[in-house]
Amino acid sequence: MPGHPRPILGIGAGGIVRDAHLPAYRVAGFEHIGLYDLNIDKARALAKQFDVPRVFRSMDEALSTAPDNVVFDVAVPGGGVRDVIPLLPDGAAVLIQKPLGLNLADARHICQLCHDKNLTAAVNFQLRYAPPIIALRDLIDRGLLGELHDIQMQVTLWTPWELWDFLKTEDRVEILYHSIHYLDMIRSFVGDPTGVYARVHRAPHHPDLADVKSTTILDYGDNLRVTVSANHCHEGDLTNQESYIRFEGDKGIAKVTLGLCMDYPRGQPNIFEYCLLDQDERTWQTVDIDGTWMPHAFIGTMASVMRKAEDPSLPLPTHVDDALLTMAVVEAAYASSAGGATPIDYS
C-alpha cells in the first residue's frame, strides 16, 4: 500500500467501476474525488451510491479542477483510451482499464503517448493482484511446486454478455476483454511465450457478438504446456461449471478456482488447493484465502500506481510497456485464429 494515498478522479462510470473500482477503493480507504462519464445521469447515480462528492459535466471541467497529485482512473471501452490519454496533464499518474486499445497498433500508439507525456501509467491487469493468485505466487516463489511443466486455465460457464452493450460493436470480444486477464497473469509467472496457437468461436445464443469462446495454446517450448480454454455459453446450472487455473510442477500441484465468473456478478466462493508430491500421502490440502478477484484485486493495481508516483524507483508491474507485451500475445492469438488450422492430407 502507498505511504501517502493520492486522491482518485474517475473517467468512466460503467459496470466495472460500479462492481469493482469503487468498492475496492472504499475497502482500501482511498479518496475518490469525482466522476466523469459521457452519460451524466449514470455518473450521478454511481456518485450517489458511493458518496463520490462531485460529478463533472465535461472532461474539461474534470481536468481543470483536478489536484496535481491526483491519479486518473480511466475506465472506458478499449476504443476510447487513445482519445482520453492525450487530454491528461503531462506527468500525471493514470490507471487504464484493460484492454490497452482495440489491437496491437492501438496499444503501441497509446504506449508512445504515455511516454511522450511522461505519464506514470499502468493498465488494470488486476488478476495478478487477486488474493488467491498472490497465494499461488507465494507457493511457487518458495519452490514448493518445483519446476513447472503444465499450466491450464479452464473456463466453462455462462457469461451475461448483455451487461456490456458496447461489446456488440466490437470486432474482438472474448480474448480481448476476458481471456486477456489469464494471458497476462500467465505471463507474470512464466514470462513471454515464443508463439501462440489459437481459435475463437461465435455462438448461436449471441449472434451480435464477434466471438464468445476461445482456445489458446502458448508456446513455451517442449517442457511446459500452457493452455487457456474459455466457453462462456455453458447452459447447465452451477453443477458442472468451472473456472480454474492449475499449475503443475515436479514437486507439487496447485489449483485455484476463481469463483467470480460463475453466476456472475454474484459469483461463487474461491477454492485454493495444493498437493505436495514429496509427501508420503499425496493428499490435497485446502487453504482459506481472505479476499477475492472483485473487488480486492483492484486495490493492488491502484496502489501500485500510487506507490510508483511517490517513489519512481519502485517497480510498476502492469506498466504500459508490460501491458504492450500482453497485447502482442492477444494480437497473435487473433492472427492465429484468422490464419486457420494446418490442413490434413486425407489422400
71-74 vs 8-11, strand pairing mode: parallel
Q: Please report whether residue 327 resides in a domain.
A: no
Q: How far apart are CA 126 and CA 300, in angstroms?
A: 7
Q: Please report whether residue 322 resides in a domain.
A: no
**CATH number of the domain to which 74 belongs:** 3.40.50.720
Domain total of the chain: 2
Confidence (pLDDT) at 278 = 87
Grid cell 465468473 in the structure block, residue = 261
Same domain for 177 and 58:
no
Instruction: Give per-residue pLDDT as tens, 204-234.
Output: 989 999 999 999 999 999 999 999 999 999 9
Same domain for 72 and 143:
no
Confidence (pLDDT) at 198 = 98
Same domain for 135 and 283:
yes
Q: Is pLDDT of 92 > 90?
A: yes
Q: Please report whether residue 212 resides in a domain.
A: yes
Q: Count CB-CB contacts under 10 A for residue 59.
A: 15
* β-pair partners for 253: 248, 275
Q: Please report whether residue 335 resides in a domain.
A: no
Q: Count CB-CB contacts under 10 A for residue 306.
A: 24
> What residues make up the domain containing 264?
128-287
Q: Please report whether residue 237 resides in a domain.
A: yes
Residue 228: closest CA among 295, 175, 164: 175
In order, the DSSP letters of 135-162 are HHHHHHHTTSS-SEEEEEEEEESB--GG
Q: Please report whether residue 330 resides in a domain.
A: no
Same domain for 116 and 137:
no
Q: Is pLDDT of 281 > 90?
A: no
- Residue 215 burial (CB < 10 Å; 0-12/13-18/19+)? middle
Q: Count CB-CB contacts under 10 A for residue 48.
A: 10
Instruction: Give per-residue pLDDT as tens, 9-32.
Output: 999 999 999 999 999 999 999 999
Same domain for 144 and 111:
no
Q: Compute the mean pLDDT over every residue in the chain, rounded to the nearest whole number.
A: 96
Confidence (pLDDT) at 228 = 98
**CATH number of the domain to which 163 belongs:** 3.30.360.10
Confidence (pLDDT) at 202 = 96
Maximum Cα interatomic distance, the chain, rounded to a whole number of Å: 71
C-alpha cell at position 255: 489449483
What is the percent of the chain where pLDDT is above 70? Answer: 100
Same domain for 140 and 65:
no
Global confidence as pTM: 0.95
pLDDT confidence band for 280 (50 / 70 / 90): confident
Confidence (pLDDT) at 241 = 95
C-alpha cell at position 23: 468498492
Same domain for 156 and 265:
yes
Confidence (pLDDT) at 266 = 87
Q: Please report whether residue 343 resides in a domain.
A: no
User: What is the mean predicted confidence (pLDDT) over 49-73?
Assistant: 96
* β-pair partners for 48: none
What is the three-class DSSP state of 293? Answer: coil
Same domain for 230 and 163:
yes
Same domain for 101 and 196:
no
Same domain for 280 and 304:
no
Same domain for 283 and 149:
yes
Q: Please report whether residue 333 resides in a domain.
A: no
What is the percent of the chain where pLDDT is above 90? Answer: 94
Same domain for 132 and 37:
no
Q: What share of the chain is helix, strand, coil (3-state, %, to 5)?
A: 40, 25, 40
